[in-house]
Amino acid sequence: MAARITLGTSIAPFHDSSLWSASAGTTATVYAPRTSLSGSAVTSFSHSAYAYLTYTSATDIDMSAADVLSFEFYCDISGSYLGPVTMRFVFYDVAGNYWQLTLPLNALRSGWNSFVVNKPSVVSSYWAKSAGTANWATIRSIVCTATPPTGQVHRTYYSSIRLGYTSTAYFCLSSDDGYKSDITNVMPILRDHGLKQTHYVNAPSTGVLMSRADWDTLYGMGHGISNHGTHTRLTTVTGAAMIAAIEPTMNSLLGYGYAKSARHFAYPFGEYNAEALAALVANHYTARMTSSPFCQGHFRPNGYAEYLLGAYGISSPVPTLAAIQPHLQLAIDTDAYFHLYWHELTSAGDLANLAAIAEWLADQVAAGTCRVGPVHEYYDWLIGQPTADAVLKDTVFGVDDQNTGTLVPVKKYLCVTGA
């Protein structure tokens, strides 16, 4: 089953050379920043120099909650290809027990490389352990080794080892235009089930639309108050008129103190073009359309996918739970992103059906099979930390040899060299 992996920060300050010791014939040198690596004058090592480094922590490193481990390193090699190289990492707990990962990687290239593996619970083809099982909550030292093929000259710069946490499906809830019914009819239903939504608004009103006081109330409860522009079809304007249809509402929301959610946008009428996309990329974090496949994979950061978030409309008539449940379940089964949106909901039947959907979603949250939240929380969860996509197996997920520049910025990198 496909899963989303959220990676935390490095478990240790790998750039602090005072915490490392080297094997005989091996030196550990700190270089900074990343861009200077290719020009660093260092001594290379080959298979004949079995070099390793040991990182030692004065306090316990708690790795117990992680589902996976991510290893990132930079290879500076003679030629464009290195392989196979055996990477070995041994994790010792405070009592001296260990887990040892031995992984032959067959397609490393000069540049950034990374791989992700399941954190073990039993011995496998990649994981061995001491007679006593190491306690992942009390790791004290990590031994790192890179063994290239005989005669191959290369340098390995360790960047980080990060803990990864697998996710479940994420459901976003939102409504358009800021109807008063959102706070009088919908909010009590969501509140009763512990759920929150995004409200894409135009301008405050005292009539059929919510007031500024209503927005303050909802934002204070954790809901998102986000930008729906002036409700102008963006495909009908250009230049200054395009900007005027988008930015004033965002600026107002920022001025009202809705900083967490003001830069998220919903296209009026679901319409956009290349100019609208460029305008949103300049000042916004996400943009939502109003039609899409029922389920879609989580977007990858630093692209355009976050400005083309799809959504499944449940405006009146709101479907019954029985009608929509297969689509909701598909999102859970595939760990997907699923966005439900509506406009004005006032009829007893619509509200009853929404309540049934909300109750089902709340039950899934309680069971740990999904998350539900407003768009700004989804965005923060998804790209607030670097992320990786993978298929969960008891094997290595694969090697990323593309220098994408999306890794956590590490101030300095530790270089393993050998005599």
Residue 354: band (very low, low, confident or very high) from pLDDT cuts 50, 70, 90: very high
E strands in 106-195:
108-109, 111-118, 127-129, 139-147, 154-166, 169-176
Mean pLDDT of the chain: 74
Q: Within this chain, do residues 289 and 409 fall inside the same structural domain, yes or no?
A: no
**Number of domains within the chain:** 2
Residue 373 domain-assigned (yes or no): no
Q: Within this chain, do residues 323 and 311 fall inside the same structural domain, yes or no?
A: yes
- Residue 348 scores a pLDDT above 80: yes
At 117-155, the pLDDT tens digits run: 777 777 877 789 999 999 999 999 888 777 766 666 556
Q: Within this chain, do residues 228 and 254 fall inside the same structural domain, yes or no?
A: yes
At 228-252, the pLDDT tens digits run: 999 999 999 999 999 999 999 999 9
Q: Within this chain, do residues 53 and 43 fall inside the same structural domain, yes or no?
A: yes
Q: Within this chain, do residues 210 and 305 fall inside the same structural domain, yes or no?
A: yes
CB 158 within 8 A of CB 55: no
Q: Within this chain, do residues 121 and 215 fall inside the same structural domain, yes or no?
A: no
pLDDT at position 103 is: 77
Q: Within this chain, do residues 154 and 194 fall inside the same structural domain, yes or no?
A: no
pLDDT at position 127 is: 84
Mean of pLDDT values over 289-301: 57
Residue 377 domain-assigned (yes or no): no
Rounded to the nearest 10 degrees, the angle between the axes of helix 239-255 and helix 274-283 is 30
Taking alpha carbons only, the member of 230, 225, 283, 286 closest to residue 257 is: 225
pLDDT at position 357 is: 97
Q: Within this chain, do residues 109 and 138 fall inside the same structural domain, yes or no?
A: yes
Residue 397 domain-assigned (yes or no): yes
Query: 3-class DSSP state for residue 5?
Result: strand
pLDDT at position 105 is: 67
Q: Which two tokens stand for residue 189?
A: 């239903």
Question: 5 or 207, which is more confident?
Answer: 207
- Residue 284 scores a pLDDT above 80: yes
Can you give the residue range of the structural domain that contains 331?
169-368
Rounded to the nearest 10 degrees, the angle between the axes of helix 348-367 and helix 321-333 is 30
Residues belonging to the chain: 419
Separation of alpha carbons 80 and 110, rounded Å:
6
Residue 374 domain-assigned (yes or no): no
- Residue 28 scores a pLDDT above 80: no
Residue 159: band (very low, low, confident or very high) from pLDDT cuts 50, 70, 90: low
Residue 73: band (very low, low, confident or very high) from pLDDT cuts 50, 70, 90: low
pLDDT at position 49 is: 40
CATH code where residue 95 lies? 2.60.120.430
Separation of alpha carbons 328 and 39, rounded Å:
52
What whole-number percentage of the chain has pLDDT above 70?
A: 63
Mean of pLDDT values over 289-304: 56
E strands in 274-362:
286-288, 312-313, 337-342
Q: Are strands 337-342 and 312-313 parallel, antiparallel or unpaired?
A: parallel
Those residues with Cβ within 8 angstroms of residue 132's Cβ, 6 or more apart along the chain or in another chain: 95, 97
Residue 72: band (very low, low, confident or very high) from pLDDT cuts 50, 70, 90: low
pLDDT at position 5 is: 53
Separation of alpha carbons 265 and 249, rounded Å:
10
Instruction: Report how far Cα 189 is from the mean position of its chain's Cα atoms.
Output: 29
Q: Within this chain, do residues 180 and 322 fall inside the same structural domain, yes or no?
A: yes
- The pTM (predicted TM-score) of the whole model is 0.59
pLDDT at position 150 is: 66
- Residue 281 scores a pLDDT above 90: no
Separation of alpha carbons 157 and 84, rounded Å:
17
Q: Which two tokens stand for residue 271?
A: 């319409």
Q: Within this chain, do residues 109 and 158 fall inside the same structural domain, yes or no?
A: yes
Q: Within this chain, do residues 256 and 356 fall inside the same structural domain, yes or no?
A: yes
Those residues with Cβ within 8 angstroms of residue 257's Cβ, 6 or more apart along the chain or in another chain: 219
Residue 380 domain-assigned (yes or no): no
